[in-house]
Amino acid sequence: MRFIAVASLRGVYVRALRRAFPKMDLVTAGEVGLRQASDENILEYAATHGCIAISQDFATMADFAYARVRENRPMPGLIQVPLDGAVAPMIENSA
């Protein structure tokens, strides 16, 4: 599986994921030139590259993901991480 961390995902989450899963195929939006990109553009990148998006954006990201599904456009997946969640337990519980 491939993943893209959306710019809204705090760096501490990205670092924790990379430390816990060193072989995880994870890029950040910034690393692929999408730091300031819209949700729609990030989801298009994710679909084109077969990535599941990881985001802390509960305001709009899911709406764009659902729109892609309704329009029968590729949507590999979206993981939404709560802003107030503790990093370590979330990472450990997913291992």
pLDDT in tens, 30-39: 999 999 999 9
| Helix H or strand E encompassing 78 | strand 78-80
CATH architecture observed for domain 2-94? 3-Layer(aba) Sandwich (3.40)
pLDDT at 91: 63
pLDDT at 95: 53
pLDDT at 78: 97
Number of C-alpha atoms within 13 angstroms, CB side, residue 47?
14
Residue spans per domain, the chain: 2-94
Decide: 79 and 5 in contact? Cβ < 8 Å: no
pLDDT at 81: 87
- pLDDT tens, per residue, the chain with 95 residues: 999 999 888 888 899 899 989 999 999 999 999 999 999 999 999 999 999 999 998 889 999 999 999 999 999 999 998 877 666 566 656 55
Instruction: Read off the pTM.
Output: 0.86
Count Cβ atoms below 10 Å from residue 56 Cβ, excluding itself. Answer: 19
The helix/strand/coil state of 83 is: coil
CA atoms of 92 and 80, how far apart (whole Å) = 16
Q: 11-47 burial, b for 16+ CB within 10 Å, e for fewer?
A: eebbebbeeeeeeeebbbbeeeebeebebeebbbbbb
